[in-house]
Amino acid sequence: MRTHVLTAGGAHRFASVPAFAPDSLLARKVRGAFFTPPAIAQFLTDWAIAGNANAKVLDPTCGDGVFLLAAGERLRELGARPAAIGAHLTGIDVHEPSLDQARAYLREDKLDATLIRKDFFNLETPARIDADVDWQDAVIGNPPFVRYQQYGVAARKRAAAAALAQGVRLNGLASSWAPLLVHAAGFLKPEGRLAMVAPAELLTVGYAEPIRRWLRSRFERVNLVMFEELQFERAEEQVVLLVAEGTGSCDSFTIWHVRDADELARRHIFDASSAALRDDGKWSDLILPADSRQLFRKVSTERFARLDEYGTPELGTVTGANDFFALSDVTRRQYRMDEKLFKPISPPGTRHLKGLSFTRAQWEELKLSGGRVWLLHPDPKSKSEALKKYLAAGEAQGVPDAYKCTVRTPWWRPPVVPVPDLFFTYMSHRYPRLIANTSGATILNSMHGVRLNTGVKKLGRDALPLLALNSITMLGAEIMGRSYGGGILKMEPREAAGLPVPAADVVAAAWSRLSERRAGLDAALRRGEWAEVVREVDRVLLMDVMRLPAESVTAMREAAAFLRIRRTRQTEPRATEA
C-alpha cells in the first residue's frame, strides 16, 4: 500500500523561535528534553492537522511548546477562531518552567492552549470515564528519550502499565519513548493521526519489537521519514519521523528519505517506496532503497545461512580487571609463577588480529614481544607461594572489589570459556570479521567466540574467515548490528547469530577455487587491502559460484558502503539544536 501524505505546508514559519534552556544540560538529559527543530515540528503538525480547522490536537510532552505553536498557527491559517484554538490545543509536561515558556511563546504569537503539568502516564485516556482530555484528531510531539537505567522503578512500572492497557507488553529494557508512543495513541480518534519524532532505534532494537508489531496492527497507514544527517545536535541519536493514521492493520509502510529538516520544509523528498515488512526481527534494511533491499532479502534467504547454523557465537571471559588477570610472560616470570597457573589467551583487544587466522606461532610471537597472552586461572586449591605474592599485590590494588570479583569464589579465578574455533570481532569500524583460531588460546570479552558444529568444523575454520568477506555478509552486518558510539558497529552474540554467511555448499565450491590463493589474500588483508579482498571474494563466491549478475553484486557492495558511510558520518552532528 502506498500513500502520498507528506504535505509540508508553507515556508519556515517560526524558524526564529529560540531554544529554551531553563535547566542544565544534565537535568534536560534526565527528562529526555532535547528540543525539536521547528522545521520538523511544523512538518509533522501540518500533516497531522491536515485541512481540519476544528482538529483537537495533543502534545503529550510539549516542553516549550514548539509543536503547539506550529499547531496554533496551522489552525489559524485554516480559519479557526482564536478562542477555539485555545480549547483545541492541549499540552502536557512534567516541567513547569517549560510550560511557562510555552505559555509565553503562545501568548507572543497571540495563541492559547490548555497546558497541564502532569506526568503523561498519569493522564487517563478518553476511554476512561474520569478522563480529563477528550478524543484527539492529532497527537504530535517528541517523546523524551530516557534509557531504562535512568528512570526509577515506579515510573517504569507506570509506563509499562500504560502501554499494556493499549495491548502492548514491553520488557524492562524499553526506553521511555516506547511506552509513551503507545499511551499517546490511546488518545486518538479512530481516524486520528499520530505524527511524532522517534529514535531510529525504533527500527532496530530488540525491546522495540512489540512496538513494531503494534504499529502494524494498530494503524491503517504508517509512514517513516528517515534523515541522512543527524537532526538533534546533543541527543546523539538518529531519529525517524513516525507518521501514522487510521485504525486497522497495514502490511506495508511508506518510507521517505530526506537529507535534513530543511529539505522536509522544501518538500524535496527524493525517495519513496513500499516495503513488505518482516513479521518479526529488525527493520534496519528499510533504510535501503527498495531494489537493494529486495535483492538482499532474496539472496540472503536463498543462498546464505545464518552464522549459528555453523556454530553459536558466545561471549568471551569477563575478568573484572583485565590489567590484573591478563598477564604478559614477563610479569609471569617476574613473579616466578608456573605456566600451569594460566590459560593461554588471545591478548585483550583485536589489533593483533589483522589476518584470517590466529596461529600458535603468532601467539608465541606475542608472548615474546610482551603481549598479555596469559589469563590467570589457577587450581582453586593451589598452594603456590608465587601465586600468593601476586594475589597480595592484587589485593593491595583493590582488585577483589571489582564487581565481577565480588560475585565469584575465589575472586582470583575468572571463568574460562572453552577454546573457540573462530573469533568474531564484534565492535567494528568497517565490518565484523571471523578469524580462525588454531592457537589453542581462549578469549576475553573483547571478542566473541564461535565453536563450530562437528559436521562443518574443518570447512568452517578453513574457509569461512575468507568467504565471510563478501558484500552480502557485510551488508547483513550493517543491517543486523547496531551503531554504537563513534560510529562503531556492534553485534551482540544474538545479532551475530543471525549474520548471513554463505551456506556450506557454496562455501565448499568457492573454497575449492580460492584455497590455493589463501596465503596471498591473507597477506593483502594484513596490509589493509580489505576492499581488494572483498572484490575478489565477491567475484568468485557471488558471481562464479552463485551466478549473481555483476550489477547485482555492485548494488550489494554499494548498499553496504551506503550504510557504513551513513553510520560513521552520523556521529558528527551538523544541524543545530533549536
Ligand X SMILES: C[S@@+](CC[C@H](N)C(=O)[O-])C[C@H]1O[C@@H](n2cnc3c(N)ncnc32)[C@H](O)[C@@H]1O
Residue with nearest beta carbon to ligand X: 63
The verdict on 199 binding ligand X (CB under 6 A) reads no
Burial class, 302, CB count within 10 angstroms (exposed 0-12 / middle 13-18 / buried 19+): exposed
Q: List, in order, residues 6 or more apart from 77 with CB less than 8 Å away.
A: 9, 10
Q: How far is the CB of 330 from ligand X (least distance, A)?
A: 53
- Of 49, 62, 70, 474, the residue at the interface with ligand X (CB under 6 A) is 62
- Of 6, 13, 17, 35, the residue at the interface with ligand X (CB under 6 A) is 35
Ranges within 498-537 binding ligand X (CB under 6 A): none
Ranges within 222-261 binding ligand X (CB under 6 A): none
CA distance 311 to 185: 42
Q: In what order do the strands lie in the sheet with 357-359?
A: 311-315, 448-452, 422-424, 434-438, 357-359
CA distance 490 to 317: 18
Fill in the amino acid letter for 550. Answer: A
- Of 3, 6, 8, 34, the residue at the interface with ligand X (CB under 6 A) is 34
Nearer to ligand X, 94 or 561 (CB): 94
The verdict on 43 binding ligand X (CB under 6 A) reads no
* DSSP of 276-304: EPPSSS--GGGGS-HHHHHHHHHHHHHTE
Q: Looking at 136-144, 243-251, 256-264, 491-499, which segment touches ligand X (CB under 6 A)?
A: 136-144
- Of 3, 90, 142, 346, the residue at the interface with ligand X (CB under 6 A) is 142
Nearer to ligand X, 232 or 390 (CB): 232
CA distance 396 to 392: 6
Q: How far is the CB of 141 from ligand X (least distance, A)?
A: 5
Q: How far is the CB of 176 from ligand X (least distance, A)?
A: 6
Q: How far is the CB of 496 from ligand X (least distance, A)?
A: 33
How many other CB atoms are found less than 10 A from the CB of residue 280? Answer: 9
Ranges within 311-370 binding ligand X (CB under 6 A): none
Q: How far is the CB of 156 from ligand X (least distance, A)?
A: 11
Q: What cell numbers appear for 180 in the block?
A: 509513551
CB contact at 8 A, 279 and 477: no
Q: How far is the CB of 193 from ligand X (least distance, A)?
A: 17
The verdict on 373 binding ligand X (CB under 6 A) reads no
Q: How far is CA 158 from CA 119, 122, 272, in A?
A: 10, 8, 38
CB contact at 8 A, 457 and 438: no
Asked if residue 410 has a cis previous peptide bond (ω within 30° of 0), the answer is yes
CA distance 470 to 539: 9
Q: List, in order, residues 6 or more apart from 396 with CB less than 8 Å away.
A: none
- Of 3, 42, 45, 61, the residue at the interface with ligand X (CB under 6 A) is 61
The verdict on 141 binding ligand X (CB under 6 A) reads yes
- Of 119, 132, 191, 291, the residue at the interface with ligand X (CB under 6 A) is 119
The verdict on 92 binding ligand X (CB under 6 A) reads yes
Nearer to ligand X, 36 or 446 (CB): 36
Nearer to ligand X, 32 or 192 (CB): 32
The verdict on 120 binding ligand X (CB under 6 A) reads yes
Q: How far is the CB of 577 from ligand X (least distance, A)?
A: 10
CB contact at 8 A, 34 and 234: yes
Residues contacting ligand X: total by CB under 6 A: 23
Query: Which residues of this protein are in contact with ligand X, per CB under 6 A?
Result: 31-36, 59, 61-63, 66-67, 92-95, 98, 119-121, 141-142, 144
